[in-house]
Structure 1
């Protein structure tokens, strides 16, 4: 069953159009990755879904409802979690305070979700009263994911989650995403580490110059000679 449908999407910022006719869909429970070169429009897809970038044409349907005109807060209320690439935690607030803000649209603090976040990311559990800015890059990424998971989202949008991480932390980050998906959360991820992302995902999309170039399951894209030559370094 399709959870998220992006159809013929044109999008951008002000007078700058970045996306032209982009199509993608994410089925309930899937793990889908978007890859492509810098400037391809990958992050703009995510920002348009969550109401940050302007939808200039086409549609974005979530559970059969058009959400292309919603504000970011309204999108969050639809239980769409989003972890941006940068500035994804409040560095002067504590770990606990960041998690509380992650659940700000809810009527009350879901203590069971907070417990689940600490169980999933035990490195955070012992630092609840420390400022987020004191955490390592990997721990900040865990916290950002934890904030999004406080909503108990149906789908989690991750924008370049491995960016800026030390090489020895990248595999751990991918393992965490795998675990979140295996626990029942649908994943749509933009990722710079294209080969590893395609190895892990169910399906992938390759964007270039703001347009669709390829779509297939992850293994097929990894083994496609054109994809390898054009986007994966041979």
Structure 2
């Protein structure tokens, strides 16, 4: 059974439909990437899974529970984390306070969970008392992922994690995502660096105009001549 199963999903914003009849699944501990041209609906797909768009039809199941129409807090309680592309840290708060915000549904402060995040991202331990807004772009991205990982989700949604990073930090970010999946957390990612994302992931989806166009292993999509010409720059 898939960890996440999306079937015939229709979704958008208000009365504006963006996604039409989209299918997608993620298995336990699997690394799945969504690529496609600008305006294809990739980020809308991520937001729809996390309950941030208008649900119009189809089915979303997570861990065997239908979550179609759930709000984000309900989805977090089901064991899913989400890192948006923009505004993904609380800039005026310290690093540690940001992690505390990630654990707001807990009745007590989960120090062990914070320690796991600090072990994964040691620079955050060094910066624990620093304002999140004063961190570098790469450090902010680590903090955003760390906050989503505080509750130890089974699935982590990542929307354009390399966006805005200096070129020398992009490989480091992908390496960190690799380690997250190696630890047993499944990842569903939208990524602008399509070639690198497909090279590293288990499976990929190509979304075009809000609809499924291709689905295959990352390597197969990289080696598909039509996919390369149309979406990967040849």
Q: TM-score, normalised by structure 1?
A: 0.99
Secondary structure of 2:106's aligned partner? coil
- Two-structure CA RMSD over aligned residues (Å): 0.6
Q: CA offsets, 1:21-60, max 9 Å, x none?
A: 0000000110000000110000111111111111101010
Q: For structure 2, list consecutive stretches of 5 or more residues without a partner in the other structure.
A: none
Q: Which 4+ residue blocks in structure 1 deviate beyond 3 angstroms?
A: none
Aligned residue in 2 for 1:30: 30
1:52-71 to structure 2, matched below 5 A, reads 52-71=52-71
Q: Distance in 2 between matches of 1:155 and 1:54?
A: 22
CA distance in 1, matches of 2:214, 2:179: 27
Other-structure match for 1:16: 16
For 1:40 and 1:25, how far apart are their aligned partners in 2? 18
The whole-number CA distance in structure 2 between the counterparts of 1:113 and 1:65 is 25
Please, which moves more after superposition, 52-61 or 141-150? Answer: 52-61
Alignment correspondent of 1:149: 149
TM-score by length of 2: 0.99
Task: Give the drift of 1:190.
Answer: 0.5
Which residues of 2 match residues 47-196 of structure 1 at below 5 A? 47-196=47-196
Q: Secondary structure at the match of 2:3?
A: strand
Gaps of 5+ in 1: none
Cα drift, residue 119 of structure 1: 1.0
Aligned counterparts of 2:116 and 2:214: Cα–Cα separation in 1: 36
2:48 partner SS: helix
